[in-house]
Amino acid sequence: MAERKLNRKQMPREMSILLILLGICLLFEILGWFIVGQSFLFNPRRLFLMILQVAVIGTIAIGVTQIIITGGIDLSTGSVVALVAVVSASFAQASNATRPFFADMPQLPFIVPVLIGLGVGGLCGFINGFLVAKTGIPPFIATLGMMVSARGFAQLYTEGKPVSMLNDSYTFWGAGVMPVVIYLAMAVIAHILLTQTKYGKYVYAIGGNETAAVVSGINVAKYKILIYTYAGILAGLAGIVLSARVNSGQASMGVMFELDAIASAVIGGTSLTGGIGRIPGTIIGSLVLGVVKSGFIFLGVNAYVQEIIKGIIIIGAVVLDVMRNKKQRQ
């Protein structure tokens, strides 16, 4: 009964975003019939493409949501995607690749590049977390530095050239529905961690009132490092999935992904002041961005106009969040 009561109170937060998502879908459906003369929603191919795009950003957003709940921010995820994509790809090339990254390297089992990729992602996250927790510099600055450096590393590593022709056991992880399966699995795990474990309670406690967490005997620094590392691993996973899907790792991948991930979380009701946010909300937030993008392409809207409207949606979501917070304080 206790659970139900809590849920009833929290539901409206996500319900309202879900309704907005459905409204946007409906709008595109109607516009579709009027302008293009076909259905927006009842087109399995389009929906599948959209879900595939959402999956990569969505995986990143799962980690970013947790960081934002602690009152932090992670600007580095897009660059980490690129760095992991090129590093993993370099260990995953097929033996007959025309431009092998490591000459004479035998074809490795997929687990090697995957673990290396997750390790690189985790290391980036660890450095972010260490800087935030131990030096006390603002997360914005720590992760901004990582954003610039990781991208630079990726470019240095590849000398700006793509790392392509990856082996089949690696590309399997980006083929077909795999990205979506991985995304959902990560979402379920994170949701359970956040709602059912100590880890989750501490994420909310640190963001809700860091002093309270400290005086309750929680090792805040340790948990912050853990959370940023976890987010780094998820960004790394997104990099692996992306490189596997397009059969190539490139230093230019993932540009602006960090902003889409942050936007997903914020649209989904995660408060930038910390303490509030849920994974289901972030999933819906990612879907909103995905549907809007897909819908604009469907309607043939100018790509620049798309960006403008995306910006307006993000600002609208934050304004909504601020108004909600004000009401709650009163």
Partner 1 sequence: MEYILEMTGIRKEFPGVLALDNVDLKIRPGTVHALMGENGAGKSTLMKVLMGIYNSDAGSIKLRNREVEIPNTYSALKLGISMIHQELSPVLYMSVSENVWLGREPQTPIGFIDHKKMHSDTASLMADLNMKINPDEKMIALSVAQRQMVEIAKAISYDSDLIIMDEPTSAITEKEVEHLFKIINNLKTKNVSVIYITHKMDEVFFISDEVSVLRDGRYIGTDYTANLDKNKLINMMVGRELNQIFNKEKAEIGDVIMSVENLSCGKHFSGVSFDLRKGEILGIAGLMGAGRSEVIETIFGVREKTSGKIEINGKTAEISHPMDAVKNKMALLTEDRKLSGLYLMLTVRENMEIASITSYINNLFINHRRVTQDCLDQVEKLAIKTPSLNQVINNLSGGNQQKVLISRWLMTYPDILLLDEPTRGIDVGAKAEIHKLMTNLAKQGKAVIMISSELPEILGMSDRIIVMHEGRLAGELSREEADQEKILMLASGETLEKRGESNG
Residues that bind partner 1 (CB under 8 A): 2-3, 5-6, 9, 192, 196-198, 200-201, 204-205, 208-209, 211-219, 275-276, 328
Which of 85, 190 has the CB closer to partner 1? 190
Closest separation in Å from C-beta 72 to partner 1: 16
Rg (CA), the chain: 20
Whether 237 contacts 76, CB under 8 Å:
no
Closest separation in Å from C-beta 58 to partner 1: 24
Backbone φ and ψ of 106, nearest 5°? -70, 160
Distance CA 256, CA 258 (A): 5
Which of 47, 218 has the CB closer to partner 1? 218
Which of 46, 191 has the CB closer to partner 1? 191
**List of long-range contacts for 131-134, beta carbons under 8 Å, 24+ apart:** 132/72, 132/224, 132/228, 133/220, 133/221, 133/222, 133/224, 133/225, 134/221
Which of 32, 275 has the CB closer to partner 1? 275
Closest separation in Å from C-beta 327 to partner 1: 12
Closest separation in Å from C-beta 186 to partner 1: 18
Distance CA 221, CA 129 (A): 8
Which of 17, 253 has the CB closer to partner 1? 17
Closest separation in Å from C-beta 192 to partner 1: 8
Which of 38, 219 has the CB closer to partner 1? 219
**For residue 258, which of 239, 244, 279 has the smallest C-alpha distance?**
239
Distance CA 133, CA 68 (A): 15
Closest separation in Å from C-beta 217 to partner 1: 4
